[in-house]
Structure 1
Amino acid sequence: MAEAVRTVGRADRAAVTGLLARAFQDDPAFGWIFPDSADRARRLPRLFRILFDSDAIGMRLLTAHGAAATLWRPPGRIHTSRWDMIRHGPALLWALGPALRRALAVADAIDAHMPNGDFWYLHVAGCDPAHQGRGHGAAAVRGGLTRAAGRLPAYLETPTERNLGFYRGLGFEVTGEWTVPGGGPRFWSMLRPADGQNSPGTNRFTRAA
């Protein structure tokens, strides 16, 4: 039986941001942004609190056992608005500190490789390391796909090569491979067609200019 997945709100903020911080402690992109592991462990919870709040515009999902979470942005709200940048400016400076330049380089590269067209953006997907390999992460992603995301294509990017097989198992296919300028990490772009479509390779979802 598939694991239940529920939407979360403000009361779940600490639990979700804590598990995401643990899940991304060894992520290649965050390892480049925050080279010192102790500094990374301090700063990731602060950063994920900001992302949790900003992704209230879409879907914020958590598995029943609290082991995995996904944050989704809806069509037309993929990019962080100028107002959100201003609103979260002090918190971002506190979260990123001297890593601001590298974080902006990653964010700019991600924006530059977004596809065109209408799609749901799987902004963040993470599973607590203590519970990996038990299907919780897949359940959290499927929770979004079986809600609104399954009616439109879904897009994500990952800097972790071993994740490619995991996402292929959920219907995503690699559409691009790129590197953050300035010696940054390598990423893979992946797209999943809407339910009933045959392939993510369509002119409507070419890379953004």
Structure 2
Amino acid sequence: MGVAIRTAGEEDRDLVIRLLDEAFQDDPVSGWVFPGDEYRRTTHHRLMAAFTDIVLADGRIDLTEDGSACALWLSVSADEHADEEGPALVREAVDPQNERVELIGRLTADVHPSERAHAYLWMIGVSPERQGEGLGTALITSVLDRCDREGVPAYLEASNARSRTLYERLGFTVVDRPLDLPDGPRMWPMWREPQAR
């Protein structure tokens, strides 16, 4: 069974934000950034909106035709470094009192490889009621197939052990060592070399 995928546009912004918000409500990293269920329910969507806006402007969002899953991708050039002010600007827009909004951006930027151009899977979200149906795999493999054809590596940070296992099945390996958030969960920076077809 094929999964119909299209590129999201500005008109899909609210759908993508809602999808990411729902998909990451129970994620360990989201729980660390926004501790407490009520706080996360009322604030988390603003971070997902900031991420969505960044990728709509500078990358590509793949969306299943039925709107049940999305993947946010950026093309990163060799020796490209993160915008030093970016994490602070995101914090200011999302939740100025929450230093973890800025810290997560700085910590992931510090471990992000910059030696080679690559496709960066920033986030992938699947509606909770549709998880386990292969939608995430379909979204990722459509881009990985292109990466393989073009000889481009891919990179991501897995935010939980379940997603790490999925990414390993797709050819990603943990880069160097995991990222342990201060007093928080572990993330796994992962790299995938293009594979011969």
Which letter maps to 2:166? F
Do residues 141 (structure 1) and 165 (structure 2) align? Answer: no
Match of 1:107 in 2: 105
SS of residue paired to 1:21: helix
Tell me the CA shift for residue 157 of structure 1: 0.7
TM-score (norm 1): 0.82
Question: Which runs of 5 or more structure 2 residues have no equivalent in the other structure?
Answer: none
Match of 2:13 in 1: 13
Match of 1:123 in 2: 122
1:91-124 deviations in Å (ceiling 9; x for gaps):
743522422x112222111111112311111001
1:18-70 deviations in Å (ceiling 9; x for gaps):
01000000111110111011111222222111111111211111012211101
Runs of 4 or more above 6 Å deviation: none
CA–CA separation in structure 1 for the residues paired with 2:148 and 2:14:
25
Match of 1:81 in 2: 83
Q: Report how many residues are paired.
A: 192
Tell me the CA shift for residue 83 of structure 1: 7.0
CA–CA separation in structure 2 for the residues paired with 1:150 and 1:38:
45
| Identity of matched residues, % | 32
CA contact (8 A) 2:76 2:120 kept: yes
TM-score (norm 2): 0.87
CA RMSD across the alignment:
2.3
